[in-house]
Amino acid sequence: MLGKENSEIRSALMELTGTHWIGVKFHKNKPRGLKLSAPAAFCAAAAGAVTETALLKVSAIPCAGARYAFNAPGAKAPPLAAFIPARFNKVMDPAAPVSGAPRLPYAPEYVSFNLSGPADLYLSFMLNESANELAQAWAAVTGKNMDCRFTGVMSFCSEGAAAALNGKRPAVSLGCAKAIRSAGLQGQVCVCLTEGNAVKVAGAWQGRLAAAV
């Protein structure tokens, strides 16, 4: 049976999709004994957590979209100009604030990546092929098509993280141009699963494999 240690869940998800997964946890207080990382965009910190754990102070994240999605004190909806390509300026008001983007209903002070213990959600940057394989595996082990929410108007993985946690269903973010460039995520989507959904699909997958032996 799959436990709730995030390294175990990440390993099972990686076996399922062939991609690295990052365990993300939000904290009201700073975890004891953990050094605060240098300020970084949420997407960049998540991408870097494949090889190194990280801890960010939410209010110091240098991305207005992430601060807004994670309900940082005083954070306001950022303007569309921060995310849309310039050619859209003719049909969209770049100064208009983003509307309808998901936000956490609480205000965590910190967010960590790949710490030991349970995680709130799991995310992975993957090519469309891997995302399609995840959807196929989801259907195979649950008997239902993967009901997911598409995000990406505002930011990349932070918006997907908030959407997944709020809706308790998988979120797929197509990203914004800035995040894709800064984190080197060209051609990839960000898939976010709550802990419950991650355990469900990865555990069912492991059960199927064990039964097939």
**Which parts of 60-210 are beta strand (E)?**
110-113, 121-127, 149-151, 171-173, 188-194
**Do residues 188 and 152 lie in contact, with contact meaning Cβ atoms separated by under 8 Å?**
no
pLDDT single digits (tens) 5-27: 789 999 999 998 999 999 999 99
Dig out the tokens for 114 from the structure: 């790949």
Please state the rounded mean pLDDT for residues 165-171: 93
With cut-offs at 50, 70 and 90, classify the pLDDT of residue 152. low
Dig out the tokens for 71 from the structure: 């309900």
108, HSE (Cβ side, Cα atoms, 13 Å)? 23
